[in-house]
Amino acid sequence: MLVPSCWYSKKSLMAAEYVFEKLIQLIHNEKQETETFLIINSIYEDDVYNNSVKYLDLKKE
């Protein structure tokens, strides 16, 4: 990944590398679920489909 150095701090780049490493592992893991929120939950190890997101989904319909 190439990013101009003026766009990041060393700390944020290290955090981004950790997230990208997890993404790469998920792509190579054939047993991983393919639903969007399940993948995001695995990456962030948290329930990202919370009440706020559910409310926004309901507004789309």
* 53 belongs to a structural domain: yes
Angle formed at CA 23 by CA 20 and CA 29, multiple of 5 degrees: 145
Query: What is the structure's pLDDT at 58?
Result: 73
In a domain? residue 4: no
Nearest to 29 by CA among 14, 17, 42: 42
In b/e form, how buried is each residue of 48-57, taking b as 16+ CB within 10 angstroms? eeeeeeeeee
In a domain, 40, yes or no: yes
pLDDT of residue 49: 66
Tell me what pLDDT residue 4 has: 62
Number of domains in the chain: 1
> Is residue 50 included in any domain, yes or no?
yes
> For the whole model, what pTM was predicted?
0.24
Residue 6 near residue 25, CB atoms below 8 Å = no
Domain interval for residue 48? 31-61
Token look-up 């789309």 returns 60
Higher pLDDT among residues 31 and 50, named by residue: 50
In a domain, 12, yes or no: no
